[in-house]
Structure formats: C-alpha cells, structure tokens
C-alpha cells in the first residue's frame, strides 16, 4: 500500500500532489530506480520505432500533467530524449500538439412511431448519426419449443437402414463425427461390415 509522503501520493504513472491551497495537482511519476534509458537513437531500429519513443513520452506527459507541471515535464522529456541520442527533428515532430477530434458513436434506436423521429431529429442536430431498428416480434421473446441436441457432444445415436433394421450406437466422441464414419463405412463397405452381413 502506498503512503503519502511530502504531500504526494504515487498511483501507477501519476504522482498526485496536494497543494497548500487544498487543491490537487498531478504529474508523471517515476520510481527512484528509473534509469531514464530508452531506445538509443544510434541503435539498429527502424526510424518509426525510434520516433514512437518520443511520441509516447510526450503523449503521456500531456495526458497526465496539469498545467502547473507540464512545462517542466516537457523539458525533462526533451532532455531524456537528447541523452538517448534521438535526433531533434523527431523531437519536434513528436512535440506537435494535434487537434483533439471527437469521435461520434452512432445511435441505434428501436423504432416507435412519433417518438423515434423526434429523438432522431435532435441527435441529427448534434451531428450524431441515427439508425433505426424494428421492434422485436413476440417470437423473439419466446424460447424455442424444440430441444436441440448438440451433435458435437458424446451420446447415443440411431441410423436407419434401407431395410427394416436400424443401428443404435453409443460414442464418447462427437456424434456428428461418428455418424459420418458409419455412413462412410457403409458406402465403402469396409471389412467389418462385410463380416456383419455374413452373420
């Protein structure tokens, strides 16, 4: 269990700080054993892999730090990347702030005449795509009357012959597999079936 020390408490990647005015601040937390070593810029890695080091560190900084601690943490990240010999153009590219885009999830509404159209109109004004689905039928609420026996389980099965006889078998394997084997044996008249016919 983590304990508060120096008015701060570590939680995962976040260091939560209690300010003197009883507000909460937050910045990136690093353990005392953190070595600030990442992929070396001169190592044998694809440039896209080297670029993602800076990008992920900058994204983490912007996602975690409050405005009070952001500038200091960004400076620290730049220094760490410089120490790991990552080139300056990669730093500048990763440092760019991308405009936030809001992804709108479409709304799927059950159709009720007179009500759904009004809701759809309101959602359309908020730039939310609306899809309508028909209401459920009574048959969809009721369970199936038939009892379906899964053929992929073990069990007892019956095969009817062209004559008046039938064969009842039991298997520990899949019923579907065993029935296919029996049908194939009859079709190819394997030696066991020839012996059975002689009896």
pLDDT bin (cut points 50, 70, 90) of residue 53 is: confident
- What lies within 8 Å, CB to CB, of 49 at 6+ separation is 39
Burial 127-147, CB ≥16 within 10 A → b, else e: eeebeeeeeeeeeeeeeeeee
85 and 14 in a common domain: yes
Q: What angle do CA 183, 189, 195 make, to 5 degrees?
A: 115
The dihedral over CA atoms of 40, 54, 28, 103, expressed in degrees to the nearest 10, equals -150
The average pLDDT across 54-83 equals 88
Distances (CA, A) of 129 to 105, 109, 164, 169: 8, 11, 63, 57
Task: Based on the fold, state whether residues 79 and 25 are members of the same structural domain.
Answer: yes
* 3-state percent helix, strand, coil for the chain, nearest multiple of 5: 40, 20, 45
pLDDT at 47 over 60: yes
Do residues 126 and 193 share a domain? no
What's the pTM value of the predicted model, to 2 decimals? Answer: 0.45
State residue 91's pLDDT score: 47
pLDDT digits (tens, 9 = 90+) for 89-124: 444 554 555 555 666 788 888 888 888 888 888 888
Residue range 118-175, pLDDT digits in tens = 888 888 888 888 888 877 777 777 777 776 666 777 778 787 877 777 878 888 888 8
Residue 147 lies in a domain: no
Q: Specify whether 122 is located in the same domain as 76.
A: no
Q: Integer distance in angstroms from the first to the last C-alpha of the chain?
A: 78
CA–CA–CA angle 41, 48, 37 (5° rounding):
35
In a domain, 2, yes or no: no
CB 6 within 8 A of CB 13: no
pLDDT of residue 28: 92
Residue 75 lies in a domain: yes
Within a domain: residue 150?
A: no
Rounded average pLDDT over 70-97 = 74
**Domain ranges, residue 123:** 107-136
Please give the radius of gyration of the chain, using alpha carbons only, rounded to the nearest integer: 34
Question: pLDDT band for position 72 (50/70/90)?
Answer: very high
Same domain, 60 and 30: yes
């Amino acid at each position: 269990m983590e304990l508060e020390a120096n008015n701060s408490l570590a939680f995962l990647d976040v260091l939560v700080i209690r300010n003197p005015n009883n507000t909460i601040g937050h910045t990136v937390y690093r353990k005392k054993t953190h070595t600030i070593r990442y992929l070396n810029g001169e190592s044998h890695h694809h440039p896209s892999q080297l670029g993602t080091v800076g990008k992920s560190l900058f994204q983490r900084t912007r996602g975690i730090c409050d405005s009070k601690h952001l500038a200091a943490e960004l400076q620290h990240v730049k220094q760490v990347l410089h120490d790991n010999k990552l080139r300056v153009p990669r730093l500048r590219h990763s440092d760019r702030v991308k405009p936030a885009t809001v992804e709108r999830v479409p709304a799927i509404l059950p159709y009720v005449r007179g009500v759904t159209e009004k809701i759809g109109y309101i959602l359309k004004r908020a730039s939310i795509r609306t899809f309508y689905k028909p209401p459920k039928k009574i048959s969809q609420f009721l369970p199936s009357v038939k009892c379906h026996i899964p053929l992929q389980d073990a069990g007892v099965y019956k095969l009817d012959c062209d004559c008046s006889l039938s064969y009842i078998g039991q298997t520990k394997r899949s019923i579907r597999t065993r029935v296919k084997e029996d049908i194939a044996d009859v079709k190819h008249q394997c030696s066991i079936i020839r012996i059975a016919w002689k009896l």
